[in-house]
Amino acid sequence: MLVIKPSQKKMFKTQAEFRSLRSAGYLSTMARHFAQKIQVSERDGAVHLQFICGLAVLRVTTDSLHLRIESPSKEEMLQTCQVVESHLLRFAFREEPEPLVWSDL
């Protein structure tokens, strides 16, 4: 879990959607992969990946994988997005995925 210092109230947030009927499998693969390197937890129907640079929350919907990133700085948010996206696109290579479109929250 991110610790917010009193002087650091604003969190930078962004989200993306990866459409795939295999989204549950990709969620599972990402959780297993990152669990060997960082803290991974599951709560409220979502997988939380706690990186040094930010938190990624992944949730499966009927036909997609929803990704939300929260970080204390814009740079760390972009770094977290890059790590999560590069791994997801690598795991989903058979689908020839396009880069994700991130929307700031």
Domains in the chain, please, with CATH?
12-95 (3.30.310.50)
CA distance 18 to 104: 16
pTM of the model as a whole: 0.88
Which of the pair, 3 or 102, is modelled with greater confidence?
102
Residue 105: pLDDT over 70: yes
pLDDT confidence of 57, banded at 50, 70, 90?
very high
SS (HEC) of the chain: CCCCCCCCCCCEEEEEEEECCCHHHHHHHHHHHHHCCCEEEEECCEEEEECCCCEEEEEECCCEEEEEEEECCHHHHHHHHHHHHHHHHHHCHHHCCCCCCCEEC
